[in-house]
A and B are shown apart, each in its own frame.
Chain A
């Protein structure tokens, strides 16, 4: 599945690494099904077994990579990455011992407080996270938290709106990895905060719907500390030949359980020391 490197408007290339031996036909078919699910707004059956070998994460990333290449070729701009599966309980559910990642594109960002078209997202759920905005590249395959601290320009509270192109969220690790880590949109807060000013391990998080807490947690719920998640991502991306760059936005992982979105509802996430961020969804009629 060697392809011409595609690059976005900032000259960044998508993953183009050749993986000899991968079932190319299956990858192409998985890409087609995921695209079709999004375009027709109709979730598809799980990809595992029928297309992607169970537990074959490398092939699942090949699907994600192929979709990213197509997106970049179509003019979408990569602005960062999201980290998923940062909660040990969720990892156990999916039978993995590592997080996963997906790509963030500029057109996935919604403004703080702005209305999101709920029909644009398949099976939407929301979760609250810490977003890191990098001020320096992180090109190392061996990364320390000190490297991440030095590279972090500022933090923002964030709401990630996840979605799944797989029917009923019936996902295994290969399903979610192929599906860009079940990403859909994200909302960043508007007030940058310095890393030194927040206790990212102990910070409380509450996600409220009409003043009622619907998800609560703390920084440590994200892989023990959100910095650890970003360090994992940095070395994983560097090893893949697509290191994190200055300006990248990193959604570091949920601080509490994700919550299914109610059409017409508004959600506010508050993270202690980081401030708040909000999103609201159009009703069923759009």
Chain B
């Protein structure tokens, strides 16, 4: 199949919330080809009126690499349609098997990082059983589905070891540190700039940068109230509709 056809498959899977088999099962697809599919996939959404608002990093922690069995940092695109207001409600109807994880977000400025915020990312592989190879997950916009960014804060002097909690219905279900993000989330930004440049995308001031998960992801279930707490940065939360 062509890049355009593969992008259409993934786009339809997301729109219809229906899992599909991994692309690599029936197609020759390498990582470069997969980024081309991702670009075509997002182009379809931009054609529908969505706007590019940033990028997200994936597989920036050992825990995450072990969880999915891919051992290289990857990146995906964020559009405005993926944003959920902090404290907002999210219907899970549009998702296949959503998971949620706590992150740190950076607001990109003219020169470096303008602000930082606690964030939540909802990931939802369009592949059956959340199973994929490296090219598959890249083509699928690195499983990106939705995100919440909490209130922007001044960038702390150090962001390399901020404690991060993921709470579901008031219970701490994951505890980690921003150190899980490549040792320091600022490294994720350096990597992100380099990786996106390789595929012809320059990060723009005003964009949101999701640096990667600080803990393993947990399933997002109907009715759950989920909160990310980041040391020194505050909280970001959402309520999954029942």
A271: chain B residues at CB < 8 Å are 161
- Closest partner residue, chain B, to A205 (CB atom): B177
Name the segment of A164-172, A196-204, A230-238, A239-247 touching the other chain: A196-204
Within the complex, the shortest CB–CB distance from B231 to chain A, in Å, comes to 4
Within the complex, the shortest CB–CB distance from B98 to chain A, in Å, comes to 22
Establish whether residues B229 and A216, one from each chain, have CB atoms under 8 Å apart when the complex forms: no
B87: chain A residues at CB < 8 Å are none
Please tell me if A211 contacts chain B, counting CB pairs below 8 Å.
yes
Partner of B180, one of A201, A216, A221, A224: A216
Please tell me if A163 contacts chain B, counting CB pairs below 8 Å.
no
B163: chain A residues at CB < 8 Å are 199, 201-205, 218-220, 272
Establish whether residues B175 and A211, one from each chain, have CB atoms under 8 Å apart when the complex forms: no
Please tell me if B183 contacts chain A, counting CB pairs below 8 Å.
yes
A201: chain B residues at CB < 8 Å are 163, 165
- Closest partner residue, chain A, to B230 (CB atom): A202
How far is B177's CA from A270's CA once the two chains are assembled, in angstroms? 11
Within the complex, the shortest CB–CB distance from A260 to chain B, in Å, comes to 14
Q: What string of 1s and 0s marks CB contacts (under 8 Å) between A192-218 and chain B?
A: 000000010111111010011110111
Q: Chain A interface residue count: which class? A: 20 to 34
How far is B180's CA from A214's CA once the two chains are assembled, in angstroms? 9
Given A216-B180, A218-B231, decide whether A206 and B161 contact each other with a Cβ distance below 8 A.
Answer: yes
Establish whether residues A272 and B162, one from each chain, have CB atoms under 8 Å apart when the complex forms: yes
How far is B61's CA from A205's CA once the two chains are assembled, in angstroms? 15
How far is B64's CA from A216's CA once the two chains are assembled, in angstroms? 13
Q: What string of 1s and 0s marks CB contacts (under 8 Å) between B24-55 and chain A?
A: 00000000000000000000000000000000
Please tell me if B176 contacts chain A, counting CB pairs below 8 Å.
yes
Partner of A270, one of B61, B161, B176: B161
CB-contacts of B171-202 with A (<8 A): 172, 175-180, 183
How far is B179's CA from A218's CA once the two chains are assembled, in angstroms? 11
How far is B175's CA from A55's CA once the two chains are assembled, in angstroms? 29
- Closest partner residue, chain A, to B158 (CB atom): A272
A214: chain B residues at CB < 8 Å are 62
How far is B215's CA from A221's CA once the two chains are assembled, in angstroms? 12
How far is B177's CA from A199's CA once the two chains are assembled, in angstroms? 14
Establish whether residues A202 and B229, one from each chain, have CB atoms under 8 Å apart when the complex forms: yes
Please tell me if B100 contacts chain A, counting CB pairs below 8 Å.
no
Partner of B175, one of A206, A221, A270: A221
How far is B231's CA from A204's CA once the two chains are assembled, in angstroms? 7
Q: Chain B interface residue count: which class? A: 10 to 19
CB-contacts of B212-237 with A (<8 A): 214, 229, 231
How far is B176's CA from A256's CA once the two chains are assembled, in angstroms? 8
A203: chain B residues at CB < 8 Å are 163, 231
Partner of A205, one of B62, B161, B165, B183: B161
Given A202-B165, A204-B163, decide whether A218 and B180 contact each other with a Cβ distance below 8 A.
Answer: no
Partner of B177, one of A204, A211, A224: A204
How far is B179's CA from A206's CA once the two chains are assembled, in angstroms? 6
How far is B242's CA from A177's CA once the two chains are assembled, in angstroms? 44
Establish whether residues B164 and A204, one from each chain, have CB atoms under 8 Å apart when the complex forms: yes
B62: chain A residues at CB < 8 Å are 213-214
Partner of B164, one of A199, A218, A224, A270: A218
Establish whether residues B172 and A202, one from each chain, have CB atoms under 8 Å apart when the complex forms: no
B175: chain A residues at CB < 8 Å are 217-221, 255-256
Given A219-B163, A272-B161, decide whether A213 and B180 contact each other with a Cβ distance below 8 A.
Answer: yes
How far is B177's CA from A33's CA once the two chains are assembled, in angstroms? 40
How far is B165's CA from A212's CA once the two chains are assembled, in angstroms? 21
Establish whether residues B172 and A216, one from each chain, have CB atoms under 8 Å apart when the complex forms: no
How far is B165's CA from A224's CA once the two chains are assembled, in angstroms? 11
Partner of A218, one of B61, B160, B176, B183: B176
CB-contacts of B138-184 with A (<8 A): 160-165, 172, 175-180, 183
Not counting A218-B175, A218-B177, A272-B163, a sample of 13 additional A-B residue pairs whose C-beta atoms are within 8 angstroms of each other reads A203-B163, A204-B161, A204-B162, A204-B177, A204-B231, A205-B161, A206-B177, A211-B183, A213-B177, A214-B62, A256-B176, A270-B179, A272-B161
Return 22 A-B CB contacts under 8 Å, by A number.
Answer: A202-B165, A202-B229, A202-B231, A206-B161, A206-B183, A208-B183, A213-B177, A213-B179, A213-B180, A213-B183, A216-B179, A217-B175, A218-B163, A218-B177, A220-B163, A220-B172, A256-B175, A256-B176, A256-B177, A272-B161, A272-B163, A272-B231
Binding site for B on A (CB under 8 A): 199, 201-206, 208, 211-214, 216-221, 224, 255-256, 270-272
